[in-house]
Amino acid sequence: MSKQIITTGQAPEEIVPYARIEWVKNRMLKEYGEGTSTALFHKTEIAKARAFHRTFPDYRPTPLHSLKSLAKTLGVGGIYVKDESHRFGLNAFKALGGSYAVARYLAQHLNRDLNELPFPVLTSPEIKAQLGEITFATTTDGNHGRGLAWTSRQLKQKAVVYMPKGSSLYRLEKIRAEGAEAWITDLNYDDAVRMTAAKAAENGWVFVQDTSWEGYEEIPTWIMQGYGTMAAEVTEQMPELGADKPTHVFVQAGVGAFAGAVQGYFASLFRGSRPQTIVVEANKAACLFRSAVAADGKPRVVGGDMDTIMAGLACGEPNLIGWRMLRDYSDMFISCPDEIAAKGMRILGNPLGRDSKVISGESGAVTTGLLWAFAHDERLSEARAALGLHENSHILLFNTEGDTDPVKYRKIVWDGEISSAAR
Ligand SMILES: Cc1ncc(COP(=O)(O)O)c(C=O)c1O
């Protein structure tokens, strides 16, 4: 691994290999105001997304759990887990993005303001008659596709969903159960995205992808603004739990849309006094980490199969909008092996003391596993010190999914697959 890293040209002393957890401080960090504009994630923009989400009959803020016993055990002031397994009955946060992007697209198409199109209006027969038949297309490891399929079904529209090779059959069936046409391809995530974009252009479908590149930014921006609802809920919920705001936020990343949205929101809200943000990836798909190591401001790409249990994080090409936010305002980038995610699933599913039980899937749990590693392995002490993690730290984590593949969940949590015991 270090060989690979050195070829990207970073100063070697910035990298500390820890088993296969690696970390790098962000050497591109900017003062607020000197970096990329965070205007897209300003609270007024996020308030629009949230106002739309509030019109859903199933809308409820997801719980924010304060895991006091875990915090005490790990030697920090507080651990707060935003539990997105409760979002819209879909077991993951993703529908926040797809639904808002589709709504913004339709409002634009109808030449109306989204204010006038709350969910009951948007799903009404009158609007359907005006819209006719529209097909939304995407690529997904599961969660985004299910969210888009769910949105399309509610709007009486069609969805076509492609999945990368190796995707879970259970997740495929969940997407089909929402009425979408869905297939598992023999391509990796990023190649499947390119194929879907081409098919959408060929067939006149609306391509709703949760990643972005030069020239494809509008829909991904709406998706990211939709994710902002989560962060906005957190800023209301933390004071209710006795903490003003987090001192540290750990955000897991695939393409970095979710992480970039949370980063953009907190940077815009708290500016110079924003929490420290730590971007966490699967080591098989650590494109943002590699980009941070290269430290020349340009995103790096990881190819190949990216076989990790963290299916939601198995993306090798950064989202451009997300990358800009993370590059300019995040403090550290970390690459984690599967065992860390498995450890997090076990910790959250088997709470200490009176802590709430949190069912967390592979991509949801990695940050909790990492926090455990920070507390237990001296080889991470330099990283811990660099972040100033101590007994007064109030740490925010996002459980971005529940057991979205329940068979796999039980294999890991019940049967001990992917052992996280010390070696
Ligand atoms: C459960 C879960 N967590 C995190 C992510 C990462 O989101 P992003 O690809 O925007 O980085 C995903 C993406 O699919 C996901 O499904």
Give 129 Cα–ligand 1 centroid separation in angstroms: 34
Whether residue 123 sits in one domain with residue 70: no
d(CA 180, CA 145): 9
Residue 343's CB: how many other CB atoms inside 10 A? 25
Domain boundary among 179, 209, 239: 209
Residues with CB under 6 A from ligand 1: 92, 94, 141, 143-144, 210, 252-259, 312-313, 315, 363-364, 400-401
Q: Considering the entire predicted model, what is its pTM?
A: 0.95
SS3 at position 401: strand
Helix axes 320-329 and 287-294, enclosed angle (nearest 10): 50
Residue at 418 is within a domain: no
Say whether 141 is catalytic: yes
Please report the pLDDT score of residue 16 as a whole number.
43
Confidence of residue 14 (pLDDT cuts 50, 70, 90): very low
Q: How many domains does the chain have?
A: 2
User: Between vectors from CA 22 to CA 21 and to CA 25, what angle results, nearest 5°?
Assistant: 140
d(CA 286, CA 310): 12
HSE at residue 149, side-chain half, CA atoms within 13 A, is 24
Whether the CB-CB separation of 130 and 109 falls below 8 Å is answered with no
Percent of the chain beyond pLDDT 70?
Answer: 95
With b for 16 or more beta-carbon neighbours within 10 A and e for fewer, the 289-309 pattern comes to bbbbbbbeeebbebeeebebb
Binning the chain into helix, strand and coil, the percentages to the nearest 5 are: 50, 15, 35
Catalytic entry in 25, 48, 82, 94: 94
Whether residue 197 sits in one domain with residue 167: yes
* Domain of 168, in residue numbers: 95-209
Q: How many helices (H) and strands (E) does the chain have?
A: 17, 12
Residue at 421 is within a domain: no
Name the nearest CA neighbour of 28 among 248, 292, 261: 292
Say whether 210 is catalytic: no
Please report the pLDDT score of residue 19 as a whole number.
55
Whether residue 79 sits in one domain with residue 9: yes
| Residue that is written with structure tokens 């910790």 in the block | 347
User: For residues 114 and 377, which has the higher predicted lDDT (pLDDT)?
Assistant: 114
Whether residue 247 sits in one domain with residue 338: yes
pLDDT per position as a tens digit, 334-390:
999 999 999 999 999 999 999 999 999 999 999 999 999 999 988 899 999 999 999
Residue at 422 is within a domain: no
All residues at 6 or more sequence positions from 225 whose CB lies less than 8 Å from its CB, including other chains: 40, 41, 45, 46, 48, 49, 100, 261
Give 312 Cα–ligand 1 centroid separation in angstroms: 5
d(CA 92, CA 94): 6
All residues at 6 or more sequence positions from 394 whose CB lies less than 8 Å from its CB, including other chains: 76, 77, 78, 80, 238, 243, 245, 246, 247, 248
Whether the CB-CB separation of 253 and 265 falls below 8 Å is answered with no
pLDDT per position as a tens digit, 274-289:
999 999 999 999 999 9
Give 248 Cα–ligand 1 centroid separation in angstroms: 19
Domain boundary among 146, 176, 209: 209
Please report the pLDDT score of residue 423 as a whole number.
54
Residue at 228 is within a domain: yes
pLDDT over threshold 90, residue 6: no
Give the CA radius of gyration of the chain: 20
Whether residue 126 sits in one domain with residue 45: no
Q: What is the 3-state secondary structure (H, E, C) of 96-147?
A: HHHHHHHHHHHHHHHCCCHHHCCHHHHCCHHHHHHHCCCEEEEECCCHHHHH
Which numbered atom of ligand 1 lies nearest the CA of 257? 10
CATH classification of the domain holding 298:
3.40.50.1100
Residue at 297 is within a domain: yes
